Amino acid sequence: MVLEVTQDFFDFKESIVRHTGDVFQVDEDRKNELLAKLPDFIKEYSIVPLTKLDEEVDDADE
């Protein structure tokens, strides 16, 4: 699971400051913990499927 930071916060468990725009990997339990405690500070990071990127490349070639 990948999360994206929407507002700066100090991650006590990792002892680091996470800044807006940072993207980081967590397991399911950690994701649920962070979303419960800091719902306005992080969101699930969505990645564009490779098929979508391939379609955009094909369109540019035409």
Say what the pLDDT of residue 47 is.
Answer: 74
3-state secondary structure (DSSP) of residue 14: coil
Q: DSSP readout, 18-57?
A: EPTT-EEE--HHHHHHHHHH-TTTEEEPP---HHHHHHHH
Considering the entire predicted model, what is its pTM? 0.70
Render each residue's pLDDT in the chain as its tens digit; 62 residues. Answer: 899 999 999 999 999 999 999 999 999 999 999 999 999 999 999 876 556 555 555 555 55
Say what the pLDDT of residue 52 is.
Answer: 55
Say what the pLDDT of residue 57 is.
Answer: 53
> Is-contact 2 25, C-beta < 8 A?
yes
Say what the pLDDT of residue 46 is.
Answer: 82
